[in-house]
Structure 1
Amino acid sequence: MTSYNPMRALPTKSGYGKGDVLVLCGELFGRGYANGIVEEATRRGMTIIGTTVGRRETDGTLRHLTAAELHEAEQNLGGRVINIPLEAGFDLQPADDGRSPADQLKGVKPDAWESVRLDWDNIEQARLLGLARFKANLASVVTELEKMIPANANVLFAHIIGGGMPRARMLMPVFNKVFKGQGERYLSSAAFWGSELGRLCKLSFDEVTADTFAHLIEATDSLRQAIIARGHKAAYSAYGYHGCEALINGTYTWQSYTPYVPGWAKMRLEEIAAAARSRGIGATVFNSPEIQTNSSALFMGVEIPLYLFLEALQKEGATALAAELREECRTLLRDDVTIEQMLAAATSYLASPVLNQFAAFETWPHHNTPEQAELMLNCSARLMGMNRNPKEIVCAALSTAVVNGVGKLILDSMWEPKAHVYWLNHDIIARRLAQGE
Structure 2
Amino acid sequence: MMSYNPMRNLPADAGYKAGDVLVLCGELFGRGYANGIVEQARAKGMTIIGTTVGRRESDGTLRALNPEELAAAEALLGGTIINIPLEAGFDMEPAANGVTPLDQLKGAKPDEWAGIRFDWQAMEESRAAGTKRLKANLAAVSAELAKLVPAGANLLLVHTMAGGIPRARLFMPLLNRVFKGQGDKYLSSEDFWRSDLGKLCDWSFNEVTADSLAYLIDETAPLRDKVAAAGGKVTYAAYGYHGCEVQINGAYTWQSYTPYLQGWAKMRLEDHAASAWEKGIKATVYNCPEILTNSSALFLGVEISLYPLLAALTTEGGAIAAEVKEACKALLAEGATLEKMLQSANDYLASPLMKPFAGIDAWPHHSTKEQMEFMLSRSAELIAMNANPKEIVCSVLSGAVFRGVGRLMLDSSWDPQASVWWLNHDVIAKSLAKN
Tell me if both proteins adopt one fold, taking TM over 0.5 as the criterion: yes
User: Which residue matches 1:410?
Assistant: 409
* Partner residue in 2 for 1:97: 97
Fraction of identical pairs, as percent: 62
Confirm or deny: 8 A CA contact 1:2 1:270 kept in the other structure: no
Residue of structure 2 equivalent to 1:299? 299
SS in 2 for 1:157: strand
2:317 corresponds in structure 1 to 317
Aligned 8 A contact 1:2 1:271 in 2 = no
Aligned to 2:140: 140
- Report deviation, 1:229: 2.3
- 2: CA distance, partners of 1:101 / 1:381: 36
State the shift of 1:384 in Å: 1.1
After superposition, residues 159-308 of structure 1 pair within 5 angstroms as 159-308=159-308
- The residue correspondences of 1:280-429 to structure 2 (distance < 5 A) are 280-318=280-318, 320-429=319-428
Q: Which runs of 5+ in 1 are unaligned?
A: none
Please give the alpha-carbon distance, in whole angstroms, between the structure 2 residues aligned to 1:327 and 1:418.
36
Aligned position for 2:22: 22
Report SS of the residue matched to 2:245.
strand
The match for 2:11 is 11
Give the AA of the match of 1:188. Answer: S
Q: Distance in 2 between matches of 1:2 and 1:19?
A: 37
Matches within 5 A, 1:16-55: 16-55=16-55
C-alpha distance in structure 2 between counterparts of 1:159 and 1:183, whole Å: 38
In the alignment, which residue of structure 2 is the partner of 1:131?
131
- Tell me the residue number matched to 1:117: 117
2-side partners of 1:214 and 1:326: how far apart?
40
1:10 & 1:101 partners in 2: Cα distance?
45
Q: Where does residue 78 of structure 1 map in the other structure?
A: 78
Aligned-partner SS, 1:404: helix
Distance 1:30 1:416 in 2: 29
Describe the SS at the equivalent of 1:4. Answer: coil
RMSD of aligned C-alpha atoms? Answer: 0.8
Cα deviation, 1:272-300, whole Å, max 9, x if unaligned, reads: 00000001111100000000001101111
Is the Cα contact below 8 Å between 2:190 and 2:367 reproduced in 1? yes
Secondary structure in structure 1 of the residue aligned to 2:361: helix
Letter in 1 for 2:386: N
- Cα displacement string for residues 224-254 of structure 1 (whole angstroms, at most 9, x for unaligned residues): 1221222221100000000000011100000
| Matches of 1:389 and 1:8, distance apart in 2 | 36
Q: Distance in 2 between matches of 1:194 and 1:17?
A: 49
Q: Which runs of 5+ in 2 are unaligned?
A: none
What TM-score, normalized to structure 2?
Answer: 0.99
SS class of match (1:362):
coil
Distance across 2 between alignment mates of 1:119 and 1:208: 21
CA distance in 2, matches of 1:55, 1:144: 20
Letter of the structure 2 residue corresponding to residue 283 of structure 1: A
Task: Tell me which amino acid in the other structure corresponds to 1:35.
Answer: N
The answer to whether the 8 Å contact 1:106/1:170 transfers is no
CA distance in 1, matches of 2:135, 2:360: 34
Q: How many Å separate the matches in 2 of 1:149 and 1:107?
A: 48
Q: Which runs of 4+ in 1 moved over 3 A?
A: none
1:435 aligns with 2:404: no
Please give the secondary structure, in 2, of the residue aligned with 1:13. coil
Cα deviation, 1:248-278, whole Å, max 9, x if unaligned, reads 1100000000000100000000000000000
Please state whether the residue corresponding to 2:7 is helix, strand or coil: coil
TM-score when scaled to structure 1? Answer: 0.98
